Each structure stands twice: as structure tokens, then as C-alpha cells.
Amino acid sequence: MPKEQGQKVVASNRKARHDYLIEDTYEAGIVLSGTEVKSLRQGRASLVDGYAYVDRGEAWLDNVHIPEYTEGTWNNHAPRRKRKLLLHRDEIRKLAQVTKEGGYTLVPLSLYFNDGRAKVELAVAKGKREYDKRHALRERQDRREADRAVASRKYLGE
């Protein structure tokens, strides 16, 4: 069987970009069981309530939902178990230091396969206030309206 090439996105957390101000991103490997990998290859996962944390020098991903593999037997995995993240020691130290500061958290942005290996994109993020969310939404609407106006003028030949 040929080795997978490229990147295949399984799940992305679009709500995180709305709810958080993204400061920095990291790519981390995940320790998974066989049925979890098979379930991910079917494209089934949800990052909505997921978060990451550092505990005793190890990074963990918690509350990410990978449903049970349909053809699995009695040794199927628990859907919302905590999973160990694979990062360099220096990156883990840096993440631990940043999350100890007030207001910062680790949020999974996407779960994907990179050359056949499961990876997660982690973001160091700070929670947005309600008025920041409204402001970002308003800016996006204004930009969309401006683009429409420019497009319609080009269409009319002006």
C-alpha cells in the first residue's frame, strides 16, 4: 500500500477563531490507538469543546470527540478520552510558561493527517470580549459590502 502524501484535514475548529485572539500556533503529534486512527481516516472528529494543557512536563489534549470506530470490537476507544501530545521539550516549557500567564489558553484549531501521521494545530490564544467579537463581525461585513460594490462597478464597465 502506498504511503499517504500531503495534508488531509479531518476537522477544524472555526469557532475558535471567532472566540479567541490567536497569538501563536504549534503543530503537535497525537498518541492515538488503532481504532481512533481508523475513525479519523473516515473523517469523523469534533474539536468544538476541545482544549489542551500542560501537566508535569507533558502536553495533553482533552475533550476532543473522536467517535468510536463502527467496525471496532470490544477494544474500541472512549470517544472523549485525554490524549497525549507530542511536542519538543522546549515547546512544552514555553507553552507551560505562557498558559501560567493570565488569560492565555491552548486551543486546537485543526486535526489533520500530514504524510500519513495524525497532527493537531494548537493555538496559544486569549479569549475575546463580546464587543471584540461584534467589532470583528462588523469589519467582515463592511469588507464584504465593499468588495461587492467594487465587483458591481467592474461588471458595469466603469
**pLDDT for 35-50, tens place per residue?**
888 888 888 788 888 8
Contact indicator for 99, 105 with CB cutoff of 8 Å? yes
H/E segment holding residue 52: strand 51-55
The domain defined by 7-127 folds into Small Protein B; Chain: A; (2.40.280)
Q: Which of 99, 106, 103 is nearest to 127 (CA)?
A: 103
**pLDDT for 69-93, tens place per residue?**
777 666 776 667 888 899 999 999 9
Where do the structural domains in the chain lie, given as residue ranges?
A: 7-127, 129-158
pTM over 0.75: no
**pLDDT for 93-148, tens place per residue?**
998 888 887 778 889 999 898 888 889 999 888 887 777 778 878 888 888 888 88
* R_g (Cα) of the chain, nearest Å: 19
Half-sphere exposure of 20 (CA within 13 A, CB side): 23
